[in-house]
Structure 1
């Protein structure tokens, strides 16, 4: 059983590519993202907004 949908995987991959190119920015502050974990989180968030199959956020 897959954890993420194909669409979600594509969004994460796209976000990581943008980060490596220096084009990925965070939300309101529009600062450049340099942390891969943050890039993954942004990709999953965008996928969630589009209705892709992504598990709920883990708020620990």
Structure 2
């Protein structure tokens, strides 16, 4: 592996520990069960936010 590293590569000794890439995938499904768990005022705010985001997401 060391022969494949470039001149700018930083080599870190993990002292036997494993390193995995971090995959962060955060999302929610408010239109389903999520909306049943919030109050009506919170639901109105969430629906407004969803309404503002929907056209942008398309």
The normalised TM-score by structure 2 is 0.32
Question: Which entry has the higher C-alpha Rg, 1 or 2?
Answer: 2
